[in-house]
Structure 1
Amino acid sequence: MTQDATTTTRVTVRIDGDDVSVPAGATILDACNAHGVDTPTICYAENLTPVNVCRVCVVEVEGSRTLVPSCSRVAEESMVIQTDSERVRHSRKMVLEFLGSGVDLSQAPEINEYSARYEADVSRYVNSRAVIDEPIRIQDELYIRDYDKCVLCYKCVEACGDDAQHTFAIAVAGRGFDNRISTEFDVTLPDSACVYCGNCVAVCPTNALQFTSEFDLRSAGNWREEDQTVTTTVCSYCGVGCNLELHVQDNEIVKVTSPVDHSVTHGNLCIKGRFGYKYVGN
C-alpha cells in the first residue's frame, strides 16, 4: 500500500459489482486484495516502488480509454472496476504469451500458473520468435545470472537502487530486444559496485538471479524444494535484529531469505545475513 494510505479518510470503489472501501491513497491493487481478488503481478512487490512494466495486473476502469495498471493507479471515489472482463483477460493472455515466447520460464512457477489460468499459448509464435540465448554468467561463488530467464521486470534494479540498497550497481542497458540488466559498462560483478547483499536475487520472479548453491543443486538434479524446511531465526552477525529464513535440504542450509513483512528487514539483508551461513556447517 502506498505511503499516502495512512490517513483515516476512505474511498469506496466498485469492483466486479461489489463496493469496496479502502484508505485514501490506496491503489486499485490494494482494493482488489482487500476484496479477495487474486490479481496476477510480475514486476510488483510489496517492498518495491511500482514501475508499471509487466502489465499483467491491468484492469478495466469505467471511463478510461486504456486498461490501467492496478499496482500503481490510486483508487478514486466511485471508480467502477472490472478485473476479469474479456478485454482484461485477453490483454493478460497476450502479455504472458509474449513473455513465454522469448525467455525461459521453466523456473517461474507463479508465472506459469498465470499462463495456465489465462490459457496462454506460446507455441503460436514458435516459427518466428526471437529467443534470448546467452551463456550463464558465473563470476563469483555467491549467485549466478541467467539472462535467458530474465523478463525485465526491473525488480532487481529497484532493489539495488532507491528502494533498498542504494548501490546502483545495475541498470537497464540496450534497446528493444537487446534490453538487458547490466552492470556499468558490462563489467563483471566483482569489478562493479555490487556489495553482494543479494536483495536483487530475493526479488527475482524467474530465477534469472539465483544462489550458486541452488544453481549447483539444480545442475546436479538434486534441488528438491518439496523436501526443504524453512526455519525463521535472527541473524547472528550484529544487533540490528534481521530475521532470516533458512532453507534447509538434507540437513544443510541451501539458501537464505528474509520475510517481506518483517519490520526490520522488509525482505532485505546484507552480504553476511544473505550469504554468510556456511560457518553453521563447519
Structure 2
Amino acid sequence: MVNITIDKNNLLVPEGMTILDAAKSCHVSIPNLCYMEELNEIGACRVCAIEIEGRERLVTACNNVVEEGMVIHTNSPKVREARRTNVELILSQHDSNCAVCVRSGNCSLQDLANDLGIIEIPYQKTLPHARWTEGFPLVRNYEKCIKCMRCIQVCDKVQDLKVWDIANTGSRTNVDVSGNLRIEESDCALCGQCITHCPTGALRERDDTDVVFEALADPDKILVVQIAPAVRAAWGESLDLPREFATVKRLAAALRRIGFDYIFDTNFTADLTIMEEGSEFVERLGNADKHTFPMFTSCCPGWIRFIKSQYPDMLDQLSTAKSPQQMFGAVAKSYYAQVLDVDPSKIFSVSIMPCTAKKFEAGLPVMNSAGAGQDVDVVLTTREVERLIRAESLDVKNLPEEELDTPLGSGSGAAVIFGATGGVMEAALRSAYFLVTGENPEPDAFQDVRGRKGWKEATFNLAGTDLRVAVASGLGNTRRLVEAIRRGDVEYDFVEIMACPGGCAGGGGQPIWDGQELAGDRADVLYGLDKISDIRFSHENPSITKCYGEFFEKPLSHKSHELLHTDHRTWELNPTKWEYEK
C-alpha cells in the first residue's frame, strides 16, 4: 500500500494501481475518451492528463501508476488548459455536425466538449475523407473517428478477428480496415462490438428506419413485426424507462401506435427452433457414426460468419436449423399468410433485434424460402426502434401495456432466455430431455450453463447417457474453444456459440453506455421472466403444437426442412458486389 494525495484527499491505495483507478476510489472523476479497462490503457487521447507535484510534464492517469508520497492535481489550471487544448485539437479533425449524428446526446466527445465549455474551435478544420461500401450493415464515418483505437482493441483482444488497424503515418494516421481491404472483403463477423465501444458516431449500423416508414405508408402492405428476446431487457434504457416498466407489452403498444398491423414475439420461433434443433440433435445422437461432434448451434449469424471465414471445414457440424429470426420470417409469409388468407407478397416482415449481423442474415439470397421475396424484409436494431419511437413523438411513459397478437405472439420461458449466453443450450436441453424420456426435467436442471464466464462446460445425464456440453460467448473465447476441440484437448456433444460477450443481451445493436457492460444486468431480467413464466418448456407452447398440427406436421418434416432449415454452404461470405438495398 502507498500513501498519496489526490485533490487534497489523503488516500492509502494498493501499489501498482493506476492514478485513474485511485481517483475513482475517492469519487474524483478524471475525464477520458480512449480508455477501456484492461483493453485500451494507452493514453492516446491525452484527455486524462493530470499534474503531479514536482514533475514538469503532465502525465496520463489511465496508464501511470501511483507512487509513495504522490501529490496529484486532476483539475489544476495547467491541467484544464491542456485538457481543453487536447479536446479542441481532436475537434479540429472531427465532423462536429452533432445535429445529424446518430450518437448526438450519447457521445463522450460531445459531453466532454460541453463540460469544458468549448463553443468554438481555434484551429483550422481538417477532415479525412474515404469511401465506404454502400449498404453494408456496418457503417464507418472516417470524419468522426478520433483515433482512440478502441475498435482495434476490442476486435483484437475480445473478438480476435483483427478487422481494424492503423493506416497511414504522421498527420494522415487513421483507423481503417486491416490488410488494405474493403470491409466486405475482410473477416468481419458483423458482431457490432466495435460500434458499442466507439465513443463517437464513427461507427454505426446501417439505418433502415426510412425503409420501415415507407412501408408503413403503403396501404397495400400488411406489416408484421417480431421482437427478439433480448430487446425486451434493453429497449427502454435510452428512453429513461425503468426495466420493470419497459416491458415487451409496452413496446407492443408503442409499435401499434407507430402503425404496425401485427405485433409478434420472436420467442415463438425460438420455441420452434428448439423443437427443430433439439430434434436434430437427438437424431444425430441416434446416428452418431454418421456425424462429427460436437453439433454447434446455428442461431447467431455473427458466429456463422466467423466459422465460415475461420473454420470452413467444420460447417457440417452446424445445426441446419435457421435462426429464430429467419424461421419467423418464413412462418409469417407461409403459415401466417394462410391464417390471414392473404397473398404472402402483401406481408412486410420486420424484426427488432439486438444485433447488427441480423441485417446481413436477412439479406442472404437463401433466406427466401417462403417464395415471397426475402423472408425478413427489414431488420431494426434496438437502437433503431428507439429512434422510431422518438420520430413518432410517442410518450411511452404514459402508454398502457398491450397484449401481443396470436398465435405468433406467444413464447415460453425457455425461449426468452435465448437472449442470454447459455440460454439456447438450456432451452434445448429442457426439450431434448423430454424428447428422449417423455418426461419433463426440473426447469432449472441445466442452469450450470448460466453465468458470465466466457467459456463454460457441463455434463448432464440424459436417460443414462452423459451429455457433454459447452457454451462460449465472444469470438475470442469461441476461437479458444474451437482450437481446443481441434487439438483433441476437449470433447463435447453439443456446443452453443454467441458472437457477442454475454450473448444477445450484449449484442452490437443494443443501447450504448460508454464504459458500462450491461449484458449481465439484461440477462438477469430474462432469467427473471423465465422464472415467472407459466410455460417453461418449448414443447409445451400451445401455439407451437397448433402450428405443427395445422402446417408443419412434426419436427424435421419435409415442410420443416423446406422452410425452417438451411444449408450454410450455399451462400458466399464476401460477394464481389454488395447488393443490399437501402
Relative to the length of structure 1, the TM-score reads 0.73
1:55-134 aligned within 5 A: 55-105=46-96, 106=98, 107=103, 109-125=107-123, 128-134=124-130
Question: Tell me, what secondary structure is at the counterpart of 2:204?
Answer: strand
- Please state how far the C-alpha of 1:187 moved relative to its aligned partner: 1.5
1-structure distance, mates of 2:133, 2:32:
27
The residue number in structure 1 matching 2:37 is: 46
Task: From the superposition, tell whether residues 276 and 79 of structure 1 become closer, same or farther in structure 2 (CA, over 3 Å).
Answer: closer
Structure 2 gaps, min length 5:
214-235, 245-269, 271-296, 299-353, 356-380, 390-418, 421-450, 455-472, 475-497, 511-582
Q: State yes or no: 1:36 paired with 2:36.
A: no
- Number of corresponding residues: 247
CA RMSD, aligned part only?
Answer: 3.8
1-structure distance, mates of 2:143, 2:176:
14
- Please state how far the C-alpha of 1:252 moved relative to its aligned partner: 8.7
The residue number in structure 2 matching 1:241 is: none
The residue number in structure 2 matching 1:151 is: 146
2-structure distance, mates of 1:43, 1:183:
19
Question: Tell me, what secondary structure is at the counterpart of 2:82?
Answer: helix
2-structure distance, mates of 1:27, 1:57:
12
If each structure's helix is expressed as a fraction of its own residues, which one has the higher value? 2
2-structure distance, mates of 1:11, 1:275:
40
Per-residue CA deviations over 1:81-107 (Å, capped at 9, x if unaligned) read 000100100010001111112212423
Higher RCO structure, 1 or 2 (CA under 8 Å, sep 6+): 2
1:174-185 aligned within 5 A: 174-185=168-179
1-structure distance, mates of 2:46, 2:178:
27
1:109-258 aligned within 5 A: 109-125=107-123, 128-138=124-134, 140-141=136-137, 143-161=138-156, 163-212=157-206, 215-217=207-209, 226-227=238-239, 247=382, 249=385
Question: Tell me, what secondary structure is at the counterpart of 2:4?
Answer: strand
- Please state how far the C-alpha of 1:25 moved relative to its aligned partner: 2.0
One-letter amino acid matched to 1:264:
K
- Please state how far the C-alpha of 1:76 moved relative to its aligned partner: 1.4
Task: From the superposition, tell whether residues 229 and 207 of structure 1 become closer, same or farther in structure 2 (CA, over 3 Å).
Answer: farther
Equivalent position to 1:24, from 4, 7, 15: 15
Q: Is the Cα–Cα contact under 8 Å of residues 43 and 53 in structure 1 kept in the other structure? A: yes
Relative to the length of structure 2, the TM-score reads 0.38
Q: Is the Cα–Cα contact under 8 Å of residues 195 and 508 in structure 2 kept in the other structure? A: no
2-structure distance, mates of 1:137, 1:165:
22
One-letter amino acid matched to 1:74:
V
User: Highest CA radius of gyration, 1 or 2?
Assistant: 2
2-structure distance, mates of 1:218, 1:12:
58
- Please state how far the C-alpha of 1:26 moved relative to its aligned partner: 1.2
Q: Is the Cα–Cα contact under 8 Å of residues 196 and 270 in structure 1 kept in the other structure? A: no
Question: Tell me, what secondary structure is at the counterpart of 1:102?
Answer: coil
Q: Is the Cα–Cα contact under 8 Å of residues 98 and 122 in structure 1 kept in the other structure? A: no
Q: Is the Cα–Cα contact under 8 Å of residues 139 and 190 in structure 1 kept in the other structure? A: no
One-letter amino acid matched to 2:144:
K
Q: Is the Cα–Cα contact under 8 Å of residues 167 and 176 in structure 2 kept in the other structure? A: yes
One-letter amino acid matched to 2:54:
G
Structure 1 gaps, min length 5:
1-9, 239-243, 278-282
